[in-house]
Amino acid sequence: MNFKSVIWKLGLTIMILFLIVLLPFGFSTYRIFSGVYSTQVHENVNELSLNLSKTSEAPNENQATFYEYLSTITEKDIILVDKDGKVLSNNNLSAFKKGKNIPKELYLRLRESKHFERGYTDPKTKEYFFTVGRPILENGKFEGGILVFSSIDAIHRSLHNVRNWILITIIGSIFLALGYTLFVSKKLSSPLIKMEKATRAIARGNLETKVNITSKDEVGSLAQAINDLSIELNNYRKNRSEFLANISHELRTPTSYLKGYAQLLKRHQYKNKEELESYSSIIESEAERLAKLIQDLFELSKMEEGRLELYLQHVDLEEIIEQSIKKVMLKAREKNLDLSYNIQDELPLIFSDGSRIEQVLFNLLENAVNYTEKGSIYLSAWLEKDYICVLIQDTGVGIPEDELPFIFDRFHRVEKSRSRKMGGTGLGLSIVSEIIKLLQGNIEVQSKSQNGTSFLVRLPLDSTEEKSNDEI
């Protein structure tokens, strides 16, 4: 049995809480009963002794007979004492027999005209009494005294019964609490044990593991988090396998070209200088493509790990747009494409990373030029609340609707043969998406096959402020 388990810890905690509540409650209840009984007896005996001392004259045999009769009525032992401390009335107390003197200590208290209260245990019967003594004064002169003994054995028995019932109640409550504790502890720990088994299974690589807990409380939320983690890890494993396959394929193509044409050059298998230059150009372009692929991978990796440094400063977006347009203008003219733009007047400066924004815009514009054979490319920019929106539209080949959810995935290409011909690595839009996330913006795409494509980029005026999805 594991005493370190949650069941034992939780059960012990609940039991301690029960005891913390029940023990003071039982003690307080007992004290209340004891106080009520004791107060009632003290008040009755004091009141009786006071009344008798006020109405009594000098003690004599007639008064003694009256007190004996009064004792039988009140069920208390009332003892009449003369001025010498001698007992005048019969009673049931072994130490206060008629004709004997009362203890000197009590007699002296009465002689001093002082009343007293104390407990007394009969040496013979062991019965316990509450005793009140009062002097009898006549014209201020001590003439005797009255002692009233009230047995409190019955009260003690009642209090003992109350205490016993309280103890029985506490013990019963403890057993009841124990059963409740075991039930609750097992109820609460059962889903935790399930989740522990699930997480261990996930750790062993069984990423299809699910936790079947449907409660809507924190435990259910934790179970759902474990299920989400399992899904994410499974997706990560699949993506990693796909990524490794893709990167292997992407690296194999340029290296095959490099190896093949290098071997041709090494063996002098070319006919003339033009063919030599052609082979050299292929080697150079494939080497550039390989270098770009490695650079893009390195940059994308840093972005996904959050290690990419942003150099934030106030930048003029209009200037960045114009620079990006100039970079692709020559290529657009070579293809006889109409490249134009419209920027809202007096756009405010934005606090962002200008070089990264230019990288995004250049990538999108370059894609638009590459995949548009005829027609136009149009860029517009305007202010919308706390964002500057940049829209890039083309009349190119477009993207099929079923491909749109995947265009920002690494190595995803709509037309693989055409992408390689354009020198693309399949990472451009992934990098664009990651940069925009880092700049606290967002990007949307709309396209249909053969009907052109439009990308809408929203950039916040201040990239240091995190925005909610609703705001974006």
Does residue 394 share a domain with residue 331?
yes
Query: For residue 259, is it within any domain?
Result: yes
Does residue 60 share a domain with residue 136?
yes
Mean per-residue pLDDT, 340-357: 91
Residue 95 confidence (pLDDT): 77
Does residue 242 share a domain with residue 104?
no
- Bigger pLDDT: 450 or 135? 135
Inform me whether the pLDDT recorded for 173 exceeds 80: no
DSSP 336: T
> Tell me: the pLDDT tens digits for 56-115?
667 777 777 887 888 787 778 888 888 888 888 887 777 788 888 888 888 888 888 787
Final residue belonging to a domain, choices 124, 157, 190? 157
CATH number at residue 266: 1.10.287.130
Does residue 346 share a domain with residue 275?
no
Contact (CB, 8 A) for 107 and 85:
yes
Q: Return the number of other C-beta atoms located less than 10 Å from residue 187's C-beta.
A: 9
Query: For residue 171, is it within any domain?
Result: no
Query: For residue 385, is it within any domain?
Result: yes
Residue 361 confidence (pLDDT): 94
Does residue 322 share a domain with residue 376?
yes
Number of domains in the chain: 3
Does residue 265 share a domain with residue 379?
no
User: Read out DSSP for 238-275?
Assistant: HHHHHHHHHHHHHHHHHHHHHHHHHHHHHTT--SSHHH
Query: For residue 172, is it within any domain?
Result: no
Residue type, 161: N
Does residue 318 share a domain with residue 339?
yes
Which residues neighbour 226 within 8 Å (Cβ) at sequence distance 6 or greater? 195, 198, 199, 202, 211
Does residue 286 share a domain with residue 322?
no
Query: For residue 211, is it within any domain?
Result: no
Residue 469 confidence (pLDDT): 47
Contact (CB, 8 A) for 381 and 344:
yes
Residue 466 confidence (pLDDT): 63
Inform me whether the pLDDT recorded for 292 exceeds 80: no
Does residue 329 share a domain with residue 293?
no
Query: For residue 379, is it within any domain?
Result: yes
> Tell me: the pLDDT tens digits for 384-439?
988 999 999 999 888 888 888 888 877 666 665 444 455 455 677 888 888 899 89
Range of the domain at 445: 309-460
CATH number at residue 398: 3.30.565.10
DSSP 299: H
User: Read out DSSP for 144-192?
Assistant: EEEEEEEE-HHHHHHHHHHHHHHHHHHHHHHHHHHHHHHHHHHHHHHHH
